């Protein structure tokens, strides 16, 4: 017959039971550093505020009221990162401009559909949080938001030990804008005879950096050396130009038929995104000067012309399609807003087998 045991438990004791108690800091996460970063960035975020923002940084969710100036508002959202340009930021220990890149990549994208950027959120992830580095990055994000006229309404700082090499981090950004339903720009009104204007880029922006880094490995440039009046490191890290305010001013003055943000895929793959199947954009490569950085990349990397135009912006960060009759006035408005504007091509009827964008 079975009987109840009267012996002591045989469960082995854990060696940890006699060790010192663990904290989150022992696991590699410094809550105090995270709190310090939040306090450091509050003044930067405050400078980006819009009247529609309800509440402040630090809540569980960000509140934003749609402005009553919109009668039939359509929300337009976009998300992006900075890509392997971050690798150069780590190498150069320069973290003050990649935040501008982060904002630019998203707000320029939603802008091309006619949207006014309203607010932005960021995601900053690292293995171990360095408050100075984090503050530099987010200060850049706030600067980008100021340039775009949108509010830095919130974000997330994730400290994840073991996920990233020491000194490295990753970024993601999220932008939301609004456009009147009747004013959405989708390229549907583009017809043969329309003119393509090109707005100058500030450099490579945030695209093609895997190839850029490969070329740099081969060429081994001196990053401190003068390169056409600026240190090479400054040229290669120049932040992405934000076109929001100048293009919103243009849209307020005249109909804009289409816009293409020249990001990954370069001119050859981004301009077709706004064209109907029966149309092609014929771009004249002699109508603008390819900036020295791109000429250097092509020479040092022995990169073919077509590859250049499908990887890099090659000096044109935004393409804008307007009617021929509005082209001169559009150029005036954009130039007055601080843009360098080129007439880079025209829209034509597409021939059988023809690419939707031709650079010749």
Q: Which of 40-44, 154-158, 307-311 has the lowest mean pLDDT?
A: 40-44
**Count H helices, E strands: the chain?**
11, 14
Residue 104, H or E segment: helix 98-111
Give the pLDDT of residue 4: 38
For residue 131, give the CATH number of its domain. Answer: 3.30.1330.10
**pLDDT given for residue 203 in this prediction:** 97
Residue 62: is its pLDDT beyond 70? yes
Strand pairing report for 341-349 and 195-200:
antiparallel
Picking from 246, 317, 288, the residue whose alpha carbon sits closest to that of residue 101 is 317
The Cα–Cα gap between 121 and 67 comes to 19
- Average pLDDT score over the chain: 93
- Over residues 212-230, mean pLDDT: 97
Give the pLDDT score at 358.
96
User: Predicted confidence band at 3 (pLDDT cuts at 50, 70, 90)?
Assistant: very low
**Other CB atoms within 10 A of residue 21 CB:** 6
238 and 326 inside one domain: yes
- Per-residue pLDDT tens for 289-326? 999 999 999 999 999 999 999 999 999 999 999 999 99
**Distance between start and end Cα atoms, the chain:** 97
pLDDT band at 331 (very low <50, low <70, confident <90, very high): very high
Examine the pLDDT at 10 and tell me if it is beyond 80: no
pTM: 0.91
Out of 183, 203, 234, pick the residue that ends a domain: 183
- Boundary (domain end) residue, out of 159, 183, 207: 183
Of the listed ranges 28-37, 47-56, 77-86, 298-307, the least confidently predicted one is 28-37
Structural contact between residues 147 and 242, judged by C-beta atoms closer than 8 angstroms: yes
Residues 249, 220 share a domain: yes
C-alpha to C-alpha distance for 30 and 27, rounded to whole angstroms: 9
pLDDT tens, position by position, 188-198 = 999 999 999 99
Q: Can you give the pLDDT at residue 34?
A: 78
Which one-letter DSSP state was computed for residue 254? Answer: S
Rounded to whole angstroms, the Cα distance separating 256 from 250 reads 8
The 3-state DSSP class for residue 317 equals strand
Q: What beta strand segments (E) does 92-135 contain?
A: 116-126
Share of the chain above pLDDT 90, in %: 84
Residues in the chain: 360
CATH assignment at residue 273: 3.90.650.10
Tell me if residue 180 falls in helix, strand or coil. Answer: strand
pLDDT in tens, 91-134: 999 999 999 999 999 999 999 999 999 999 999 999 999 999 99
Spatial strand order of the sheet with 73-80 comes to 73-80, 169-180, 116-126, 151-159
Residue 358 tokens, joined: 């031709």
Which pLDDT does position 18 carry in this prediction? 66
Beta strand pairing call for 116-126 and 151-159:
parallel
- The total of structural domains in the chain comes to 2
Tokens read off for 38: 């939040």
Per residue in 335-351, pLDDT tens?
999 999 999 999 999 99
Does 205 share its domain with 271? yes
Query: Does residue 136 surpass a pLDDT of 60?
Result: yes
- The pLDDT assigned to 1 comes to 36
Measured CA to CA, the distance from residue 71 to residue 178 in angstroms comes to: 11
The token pair at 330 is 């559009």
- Judged against a pLDDT cut of 50, whether residue 5 lies above it is answered with no
Instruction: Give the three-state DSSP class for 340.
Output: coil
Does one domain contain both 239 and 206? Answer: yes
CA separation for the pair 283, 280 (Å, rounded): 10
Residue-level pLDDT at 59: 73
Q: Which domain holds residue 331?
A: 195-359
Residues 231 and 82 occupy one common structural domain: no
Q: Quick one: pLDDT at residue 355?
A: 96
pLDDT given at position 327: 98
Task: Verify that 267 and 353 share a domain, yes or no.
Answer: yes
Write down the pLDDT at residue 9.
Answer: 43
Burial-class residue 102 by CB neighbours within 10 Å (0-12, 13-18, 19+).
Answer: buried
Together in a domain, 160 and 249: no
Least reliable range by pLDDT among 20-34, 149-163, 238-252, 285-299: 20-34
Q: Are 176 and 66 in contact (CB under 8 A)?
A: no
CB 217 within 8 A of CB 96: no
Q: What angle do CA 238, 206, 287 make, to 5 degrees?
A: 75
**Tokens (6 digits) for 249:** 């001013």
Statement to judge: residues 162 and 277 lie in one domain = no
- Residue range 237-263: mean pLDDT, rounded: 98
Please give the residue that has the higher pLDDT: either 110 or 23: 110
How crowded is residue 263: how many other Cβ atoms within 10 Å of its Cβ?
A: 22
Bigger pLDDT: 335 vs 44: 335
Mean pLDDT of 189-212: 98
Q: Residue 108: what pLDDT?
A: 98
């Amino acid at each position: 017959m079975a009987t109840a045991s009267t012996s002591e438990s045989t469960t082995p004791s854990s060696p940890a039971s006699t060790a010192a108690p663990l904290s989150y800091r022992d696991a590699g996460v410094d809550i105090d550093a995270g709190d310090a970063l939040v306090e450091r960035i509050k003044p930067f975020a405050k400078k980006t505020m819009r009247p529609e923002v309800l509440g402040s940084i630090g809540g569980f969710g960000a509140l934003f009221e749609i402005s009553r100036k919109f009668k039939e508002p359509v929300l337009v959202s976009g998300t992006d990162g900075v890509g392997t340009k971050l690798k150069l930021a780590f190498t150069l220990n320069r973290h003050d401009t990649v935040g501008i890149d982060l904002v630019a990549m998203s707000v320029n994208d939603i802008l091309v559909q006619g949207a006014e950027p309203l607010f932005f959120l960021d995601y900053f992830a690292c293995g171990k949080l360095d408050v100075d580095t984090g503050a530099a990055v987010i200060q850049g994000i706030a600067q980008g938001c100021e340039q775009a006229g949108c509010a830095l309404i919130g974000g997330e700082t994730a400290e994840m030990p073991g996920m990233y090499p020491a000194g490295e981090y990753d970024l993601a950004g999220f932008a939301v804008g609004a456009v009147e339903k009747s004013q959405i720009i989708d390229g549907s009104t583009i017809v043969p005879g329309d003119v393509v204007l090109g707005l100058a880029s500030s450099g490579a922006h945030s695209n093609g950096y895997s190839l850029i880094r490969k070329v740099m490995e081969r060429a081994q440039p001196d990053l401190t050396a003068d390169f056409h009046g600026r240190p090479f490191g400054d040229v290669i890290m120049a932040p992405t130009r934000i076109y929001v305010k100048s293009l919103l001013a243009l849209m307020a003055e005249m109909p804009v038929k289409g816009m293409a943000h020249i990001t990954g895929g370069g001119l050859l793959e981004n301009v077709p995104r706004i064209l109907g199947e029966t149309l092609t954009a014929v771009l004249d490569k002699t109508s603008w000067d390819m900036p020295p950085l791109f000429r250097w990349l092509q020479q040092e990397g022995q990169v073919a012309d077509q590859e250049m135009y499908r990887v890099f912006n090659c000096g044109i960060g935004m393409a804008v399609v307007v009617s021929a009759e509005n082209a001169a006035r559009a150029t005036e408005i954009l130039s007055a807003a601080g843009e360098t504007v080129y007439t880079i091509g025209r829209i034509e009827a597409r021939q059988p087998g023809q690419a939707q964008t031709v650079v010749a």
